[in-house]
Chain A
Amino acid sequence: MEMIQELRLKREFKKVFNIRVIRGFLSIVMFVVLWQLVVFIKVPYLENLPYPKDVAAGAADAAGSRTYWFGWGISLVRIFVGFIMAQLIGIPLGLAMGISRTFKDFTFPVFEMLRPIPPIAWIPLAILFWPTRELSIYFLVFIGAFFIIVINVIQGVSNISVSLKWAASSLGARPKHIFWRILVPGSLPSIITGMTVGMGVTWNVLIAAEMIAGQGGLGRMTWEAYTNNNIPFIVVGMVSIGVAGYLCSTLVRWLGEKAMPWKKRF
């Protein structure tokens, strides 16, 4: 039927020469052109921005430099240690608080008192109290993710529809079954949300911590570029941090999708 073939051809064409992809591409080109222009004509306050080409040159240098990649490694290790600790402690804690009202009554008040304190505000105390600088940074990353995961897990447990618990009881499930087969998988979506949001926050915290207190890492590197007045490299640092953060979030999201096969749409 020719109508069908016609539609198929149109579809293939659209995949490549999709007007929306073209628009997107053009917008990025325009952004770079605008950037170049702004610096070139010395727009007030913005004339010290580096040219796009300088940033590109700086990026090329960085890619070849070992210190740069070490910086990545250092930051990533810090993120993972702090983040994973937060999950290992936070998830069970959140589950306990979600399930046992007594437990929650004892722990929640203190928890809620500490939660509003922005992780960055912990920096001076952390530096003072932890034996090594590195440990204090791990601690700060931990704080970033910890409160978020606990709150999400508590929410996750309470979100589980009561009819699921009733159905399980009717079918003969005992408390241990309800915990492992209903509550844990049922709160998984909230756990994943907690992890995803937490991952974003940890990068925030890490960069601030590295700038203020750190030795090495992408944040420190970017800060040092500032103190050394290597402006193109500041931008390189910023972009690197953005990319690193994006990759980590994507990893968490990917793990989340794998952990919840039932959430796929068909």
Chain B
Amino acid sequence: MSRNDGNGVLSKGDFGEVRLEDVTKVYEKADQSQRVLDECTFSVERGKLTVLMGPSGCGKTVLINLVAGYEKPTSGRIFIDGSPVDGPGSDRLVVFQETALFPWMTVYSNVTFGCQVQGVGRGETKERAEHILKKVGLYEFRDKYPSQLSGGMQRRAELARAMINDPKIMILDEPFRGLDAMTRQLMQEFYVGLFEEIGRTNLFVTHEIDEAIFLADRVVILTFQPGKVKAEIEIDLPRPREFHMLASPRFMEIREQVIDLLYEEASKAFAAGSKAAYDLMGAIVARKGACEKCE
């Protein structure tokens, strides 16, 4: 079952499904033990873009590391298409928050790194590279170093580096963080376009509500420490997604829903006495007594 993604280079199209069962992660630090994740159970469906959200400290990044295989869960299991995860692998490629492009390699070398270390032939590597670089609009910049590219371009290079290997699952951990809002919006549009074209399974983590709703088929919200699945929201906005949907009534409805859920979790942070607590104190007061002096 292959898909032709437009330019003759085929994607194998057999995308994966991730299943987490009762995943728990505890960190032991000196005399304290920190339970970051607590019996998380959910799936990342085949061919869908699932977004993971939650307040700071809910363990989203830890979850990513577990699915990617960089760390092992304390208990519980993670399956990719039925087989348990056992270390990193090229079937699950990750794009991190901070750029992980190799600074000493050109864009071309970075993008073809996977092919090279896996022994893919020169000819095929070149073909794949050309195709993917053109797709992300970086073909003219293939001989530049990452330091010579803007933030948005670096991110696209990283996406290319991952996608050229046709992974079963793409994992992205706040990939557009740090970009200015304008670039970010354009990157979201760009990425959603790429996703819709191929339909690869995606696990996407973000803080930004608009970004989450714009991209996702489903949003999974985690609770504050320890992280458990609080809610799963189906995003029934039509595809292909377009930027003007950000102003649609349905979008704003879903947005309100998500904010309320996150707000609930943030109040728990307050109850737990974290620094973020003061924000909530203010929120509660402010909501109660909106300006009476204005008419």
Contacts and interface: CB of A to CB of B under 8 A. Distances in A.
Does A touch B (CB under 8 Å) in the complex? yes
Interface of A: 161, 163-164, 166-174, 177, 181-182, 185-186, 188, 260-266
A170 B89 CA distance: 5
A258 to B, nearest CB: 13
A163 B101 CA distance: 9
A263 B103 CA distance: 8
B186 interface: no
Most buried by B among A167, A188, A266: A167
Given A164-B102, A185-B104, A170 B93 contact: yes
Given A163-B98, A167-B96, A172-B114, A263 B147 contact: yes
Interface in B172-203: none
B66 to A, nearest CB: 13
Interface in B271-286: none
Given A170-B68, A265-B147, A182 B102 contact: yes
Contacts of B103: 262-263
Nearest to A265: B147
Interface residues of B, number: 26
B247 interface: no
Contacts of A263: 103, 147
Nearest to B118: A172
B98 A161 contact: yes
A166 B88 contact: yes
B225 to A, nearest CB: 23
B104 A260 contact: yes
A174 B147 contact: no
Interface in B9-38: none
A264 B147 contact: yes
Nearest to B148: A266
B204 to A, nearest CB: 17
B257 interface: no
A171 B161 contact: yes
A181 B145 CA distance: 15
B114 A186 contact: no
Interface string B89-116: 1101110101010111100000001100
B117 interface: yes
Interface in B156-173: 161, 165
Contacts of A161: 98, 100
B114 A171 contact: yes
Nearest to A185: B104
A125 B114 CA distance: 52
A262 B104 contact: yes
Contacts of B147: 262-266
A262 B145 contact: yes
Contacts of B113: 168, 171, 173, 181
A252 B147 CA distance: 23
Contacts of B70: 166, 169
Nearest to B70: A166
Given A166-B68, A262-B147, 7 more contacts: A166-B100, A172-B117, A185-B104, A186-B102, A260-B104, A262-B105, A262-B146
Interface in B42-88: 68-70, 88
Interface string B104-143: 1100000001100110000000000000000000000000
A163 B69 CA distance: 13
